[in-house]
Structure 1
Amino acid sequence: MRVVLASQSPARLNVLRSAGVDPEVRVSGVDEEELQASLDNPTPAEIVVALSNAKAEVVATSVEGDAVVIGCDSMLEFDGEVVGKPATVEVARDRWQRMAGKTGVLITGHTVLRVSAGEITARASSAEPTTVRFGTPTDRELEAYLASGEPMHVAGAFTIDGRGGWFVDGLDGDHSSVIGISLPLTRRLLASVGVSIADLW
C-alpha cells in the first residue's frame, strides 16, 4: 500500500520513516490563514482537523491508483490563545518569554484518506492533544535558540526532537504527536479506513 504524506515537515517524515513507513511526500499549498479565517468560531481541535483535512484532500486529487494520504496540522493552545508558527523572531521571543516555566497543549489534527483508482473511498480524522511542560531557558540560551531559526518553522515556536528539546521539561500524552504526527492515532485512523500498519511495512 502506497503512503502519501501531505506535509513538507521533515519531522513528520522522520517519525514515519523511523516507524518503518517511507512515504511519498507531496505539499498541498493550502492557504492556512484563509482557511482558518473561514471557520465559524472553531475550537482548537476543529481548526487543526480542518487544516489536516484540506491538505489531505488537495493532495488526494493528484494521487493516481491506490494509496493512503495522511494530512496533519499542529497548533499550540497557550494562555487561552491558539498559535501556529511565529511570523517573526520577535513573536517567537515574546512567546517563549511567556511560556517559560508554564504549560501549554499542543494539538495535532490528523486526516487519513483511502484512495482507490484515484478516488477517495474512505476517510477518518481526529485530533490528539498533549500537555507540554516548558522549562525556563536563560536569556543567552533563548537568543541562541532564536538565532538557530528552528522555532520559526514549527507550531508554538518549539520542538522536542531538535534544539527546543532542551527547554521542554516533560509531556503528558503522546510524544510523537508533539513532533507532528501521532503514531497511535494514525494507526487507529488507518484501521478505520481498512488499512493495517502491517500493510505498510
Structure 2
Amino acid sequence: MSTVILASASPRRSELLQQIGVSFTVQPADVDETPGPGEGAEHYVERLARDKALAVSASSPEALVLGSDTSVVLNGVILGKPADRGDAVETLRMLSGATHQVMTAVALAKGSRCESRVVITDVTFRPLSKAEIEAYAASGEPMDKAGSYGIQGLGGIFVSNLRGSYSAVVGLPLLETAALLADAGHPVWESWPNSLESRT
C-alpha cells in the first residue's frame, strides 16, 4: 500500500480521513491562495486543491498526496476566513436566513499526475438574532473557518437545511476522497479491521 500524505493542516480534514480508516501523515502545502482575476469559485477551489497536492507530491513522488480546499459562496461571492471578529459578524449577518453554497475540492496527486473532484452543497441558515451572532463570534469558533462558521461545532444550530455532502461542508468529501484513493489502487476498506470482534 502506498504512503498517503494529507497536504493540509486542517484538524477537521485529519479527523474525516481517520473516520474512514486511512493511515496518513500530514504535510501542509505552502501555496498562494489569491484568486485569479475573474476566477470563479468552483475553478478556484479545484485549482487550490490541485496546487496543494502537487506541491507536496513534488517532494514525495511515490506517495499519494491529498489536497483539498473549501469556499463558502453567497450569490457568487467567495466568503473567506474572517479577518477579525467584526468581519465574522458581518459574514454571519449575510448568511442569516439565506441559502449559500459550500464548494469543496479534493485532489489526489502521485508524482506529476493529479485527479480532482468538486462537490457543491447547498446550505440554508435559519434567521439569526443579533445576540446569537455576537455570541458565536465571541466564541472564537468562526475565526479559522471559511464563511465564518463550523457546521460540526456550535454553528451547527444555524443550519435549517442541507442538500449535498455533509462531510464536504466540514472540509473533505468522503465519498469522492475514497473513490480517488480506490482509483489509485488504495481502496480504504482494505485497511479496515477484519471483523467486529477486532474493534473491541
- Report what 1:127 is aligned to: 118
- Which residue of structure 1 lines up, in the alignment, with residue 74 of structure 2? 78
- The 3-state SS of whatever aligns with 1:29 is coil
CA distance in 2 between partners of 1:123 and 1:200 (Å): 23
- Cα deviations by residue, 1:85-133 (Å, 9 ceiling, x for unpaired): 121221211111111111000000111012xxxxx16320121000001
SS at match of 1:42: coil
The question of whether the paired residues in 2 share the 8 Å contact of 1:122 and 1:193 is answered with no
Post-superposition CA distance 1:9-59 (Å, at most 9, x none) = 1111111112212321111121212xx2xx353221110011111111111
| Partners of 1:42 and 1:79 in 2: CA distance | 15
Higher mean C-alpha displacement, 12-21 vs 170-179:
12-21
Structure 1 Cα separation of the partners of residues 180 and 151 of structure 2:
24
Give the deviation of 1:60 after TM superposition.
1.4
Residues 1:55 and 2:46 are matched in the alignment: no
Structure 1 residue identity aligned to 2:166: H
Task: Give, as a single letter, the amino acid of the residue that structure 2 aligns with 1:67.
Answer: A
Measure the CA separation in 2 of the matches of 1:81 and 1:200.
40
Distance 1:91 1:200 in 2: 43
Which consecutive unaligned segments of at least 5 residues does structure 1 have? Answer: 115-119
- Residue type at the aligned position of 2:15: N
1:51-200 mapped onto 2 (5 Å cutoff): 51-63=48-60, 66-114=62-110, 120=111, 122-200=113-191
Higher mean alpha-carbon deviation, 171-180 vs 134-143, is at 134-143
Percent sequence identity over matched residues?
A: 35
Q: With structure 1 as the length reference, what TM-score do the two structures score?
A: 0.88
Map of 1:29 onto structure 2: 30
- TM superposition score normalised by structure 2: 0.88
* Whole-Å separation in 2 of the counterparts to 1:15 and 1:173: 17
Tell me if structure 1 keeps the 8 A contact 2:45–2:69: yes
Q: Distance in 2 between matches of 1:111 and 1:99?
A: 28
RMSD over aligned CA atoms reads 1.7
Q: Deviations over 1:155-178 (max 9, x none)?
A: 111111111111111210010000
- Count of residue correspondences: 191
- State how far apart, in whole Å, the 1-side matches of 2:77 and 2:159 are: 19
Task: Give, as a single letter, the amino acid of the residue that structure 2 aligns with 1:141.
Answer: E
Distance in 2, Cα, partners of 1:80 & 1:46: 12
CA distance in 1, matches of 2:182, 2:40: 26
Kept in 1: contact 2:41–2:76 (CA 8 A): no
Residues 30, 54 of structure 1: 8 Å contact kept: yes
Distance 1:40 1:200, change over 3 A: farther
Partners of 1:170 and 1:17 in 2: how far apart? 26
Which stretch shows the higher mean deviation, 99-108 or 159-168?
159-168
- Aligned with 1:42 (options 39, 43, 55): 39
